[in-house]
Structure 1
Amino acid sequence: MDIEHVFADLQSLPSIPKVAQDLMLQFDNPSSSLESIARNIEKDPVISAKILRLANSARFRGSRDSSSIEDAAMRLGFNTLRTLVMASAVTGAFKAVPNFDLKDFWLKSFEVAGIARLLAKQTGVDAEIAFTCGVMHNIGELLIQTGAPAVAERLNNASRSGASGRAANETLHLGFGYPEVGAELARRWHLPNVIQQAIAFQARPMQAPENAPLPRIIAQAIVVCEALQEHGGATPEAMAAVSGPLFDGIDLDTLFKQLPAVLEADQAFAQLLT
C-alpha cells in the first residue's frame, strides 16, 4: 500500500474553508492590514465566533467586550489572529467518530504546540509558525483514524511497541507513517512548505532540508510532551528524561520553569477551539 491508495480509500477528505485558505495567503502578504483581514474573517461565521470568544476570554479581555471582528482583531494582534485562524480551520475540518477521543487528541496537539512555541523563542524561530506546526503535527493520525479505519488498525498494530519506535514500525509495516500522511494532507491543503516540512520530518529531523529548524523543534516538543505525561508534569524527573543530542543548545531549566503557566494558558486556548 502507498499513500495514494490511502487517500483514494478515504471515506471523505476533510477540507479547510476557502475563506481560511485566503486568509492564510493574506497573512503572508506584508501589505495586508488588520482591517482587511477582519473583513475577510467576517465571511466565515464559525471562525468569527471563535475569534470573538477568544477576544472576550479571560486571557485577552479588556475593560469592555469586543463586539466586532475588527475590534477583536486589534485586541488579539496579528500573530495570535493568524494562529487562531489556522487552528480554527484545522480543528473544524475533522468530525468526531466512534472510539476516537477527538477532544483529547486536540488537547495533546495544543500541548505540543505550546512547547514548540517556547522552544522557538529560545532558538530565534517564528514562535507562532512553530505553534501552528505543533497543532498540526499529528493530523496524519487524525486523518487515518477518522477517515480510514482499516488503515488505522494496521498502523495501530504497527505502533504498539511505544512512541519511541512508532514511526519506524509504521514505515517497516506499511512503507509510510503518520508524518508522511500528514505532510501529504498539508500539501493537498496548499499549506506553506514550512508546515509540510515540519510534519514530514518530525520523526527524522536530522534528515530535514538545511535551514529548516521547525522539524527539530517539533521533534523536541513531542519528546518533552511525552516526558510530561509520563512523569506527571514539569517535574525534575520529566526534565531528566529529556536529554541527548536532540536538545543541544536548549536551556532546559528555563524551558521547564516556563512550561506550567504556558501550558495552562494554551489548554484554555484549545478548549475555546474544540
Structure 2
Amino acid sequence: MELQALLARPIVLPSQPRAVALLLNELGSAQPSLRRLNQFFGTDPALAARLLQAANAPALGAERQICGIPEALALLGMGELRKLVQAAPLGASSRTVPGVNLQNFWRYSLNTAKLARSFAGLVHHNQMAAFTAGLLHGLGELVLHLADPDGMQAVDAQLAPLDPRRAKVERRQLGYCYGQVSAELAARWRLPDEVVDALRHHDAPFKNEAYEPLAGVLHLAAWRARAREAGLGERELAVSFPGEVGVTLGMDIDMVLQQDPFDWTAQPEY
C-alpha cells in the first residue's frame, strides 16, 4: 500500500485507560495541578498527540510552534482539556491494534521519551522537543497495523514490532517505515518542523541531506529502548550500538548506557 493511501484511511489511535482515568480525575478537581496534568499526558502517546495537535491549531496563533506538553497546557483551557480527554478512545482490549501489544508499546514509548530527553540534555539540544519526539515516534507503527493488519502480518512474521531492526525490514517490505508515517501525522497535526524532521529521519539520520541532531538523539534513544525490550546482553549491545550516530553526537556506548532512566517502567523478565 502506498504511504498516502495508508494515511487516507480513517484511523483511531487508542489511549491507555489508566492515563485517561487519571486525567479525568485531575481535571475534575477544584484546582487541577498542571504538574500532574503534564505527567499524565506525558505517559500516553495518543493523548499527547491530540493535545499538541490542539495547541498547534491555526486558531490559537501558535501553529508549528508548540513542541512540548507544558507549552500546550498553558495555551488550552481546562474545559478544552476535559473535552479532549473525554473523547479519547481507549485501548481496552489486547486486540485493539492487531499484532501489537499495547502495554509493551506504551512502556517502550515512554522509556524512549525519557532517554531522548536525557540525551538531548547532554548535547545541549531542546529537551522538550526530544521528549515529544520520543513519545510520538512509534505511533506510525500503530497506524500501519490498524490500516493494513493483513499486510503487516508478513512483516511481523520476520520481526516483532519493537525489534531494533524493525525500520529496515519495513522499508524493504513496504518502501517506508513507521517513522515516516509518524512524521506525516505530525506534519498534519502542525507540529514544529524540528519534531517532524526528527521523526522522519531518526531511523537513518545520515540519509537526510541536512543532518538533524534531534534525529540522532532519537535514533540512540530508540535503539536503547528497543534493546531493553529485546533483553540484549552486553555483547549484543556492543555489536549493535550505532557508533556512527554516537560519534557525531559525541556520545560513546558507555555514556548512552549511563543515561538509562532510573525509573524504567516495569519490564518483563528475560
Compared CA separation, residues 225 and 24, structure 1 to 2 (3 A): farther
Compared CA separation, residues 140 and 42, structure 1 to 2 (3 A): same
Say if 2:243 and 2:252, in contact at 8 Å, map to a contact too: no
Q: Counterpart in 2 of 1:201?
A: 201
Which residue identity is paired with 1:250? M
Compared CA separation, residues 41 and 106, structure 1 to 2 (3 A): same
Q: Counterpart in 2 of 1:144?
A: 144
Which residue identity is paired with 1:37? A
Q: Counterpart in 1 of 2:82?
A: 45
Q: Counterpart in 2 of 1:245?
A: 244
Moved more, 36-45 or 117-126: 36-45
Q: CA deviation at 1:108?
A: 0.3
Q: Counterpart in 2 of 1:190?
A: 190
Give the Cα–Cα distance (whole angstroms) in 2 for the partners of residues 134 and 171 of structure 1. Answer: 20
Give the Cα–Cα distance (whole angstroms) in 2 for the partners of residues 28 and 254 of structure 1. Answer: 31
Give the Cα–Cα distance (whole angstroms) in 1 for the partners of residues 178 and 237 of structure 2. Answer: 27
Structure 2 gaps of 5+ residues are: 14-48
TM-score normalised to structure 1 length: 0.64
Structure 1 gaps of 5+ residues are: 50-88, 269-274
Q: Counterpart in 1 of 2:111?
A: 111
Say if 1:183 and 1:199, in contact at 8 Å, map to a contact too: yes
Q: Percent identity?
A: 24
1:14-163 to 2 correspondences below 5 Å: 16=50, 19-22=54-57, 25=62, 28=65, 37=74, 40-45=77-82, 92=88, 95-96=91-92, 98=95, 99=98, 100-157=100-157, 159=159, 163=163
Which residue identity is paired with 1:102? L
Residues 1:259 and 2:254 aligned together? no
Pick the structure with more helix per residue: 1
Say if 2:113 and 2:134, in contact at 8 Å, map to a contact too: yes
Compared CA separation, residues 251 and 185, structure 1 to 2 (3 A): same
Say if 1:113 and 1:130, in contact at 8 Å, map to a contact too: yes
TM-score normalised to structure 2 length: 0.65
Which residue identity is paired with 1:244? G
The count of residues paired between Structure 1 and Structure 2 equals 217
Say if 2:11 and 2:143, in contact at 8 Å, map to a contact too: no
Q: Counterpart in 1 of 2:179?
A: 179
Radius of gyration: which is bigger? 1
Q: CA RMSD in A?
A: 3.7
